[in-house]
Amino acid sequence: MTEIGRREEYREPIEVWGSYRNGRGQSRDVHLRDLTPLGCQFYDKFGNLSVDSELVMKIDTFGAIAAIVRWAHNERVGVEFRSPLHIAIFDHLKAK
């Protein structure tokens, strides 16, 4: 399990809107931040996501991106993408 605040790599201060869909099909819009090609974090006031939950995410206009919850604490959630974002997509989001 990944520790809260532990990073595999530097996170860019990128903030963008996105959404996730959990295994029960419930969808929520969320404000994503600290994006890297490997993951991000978001605030989820009404979600009840637990570690190891499987999600399908949409980031800006890009999706479906498979992700797994690595940590959840005080309505903040950190996810790891199953496959890294393509560098062209990441660069596009960074340039916005």
- For residue range 44-80, list pLDDT tens digits in order: 888 789 999 999 999 999 989 999 999 998 889 999 9
Read off the pTM: 0.82
> What structural domains does the chain harbor?
16-95 (2.40.10.220)
Higher pLDDT, 25 or 55: 55
Which residues partner with 58 through β-bridges?
19, 63
User: Which whole-number Å values give the CA distances from 21 to 30, 44, 51, 74, 88, in the listed order?
Assistant: 11, 12, 15, 20, 24
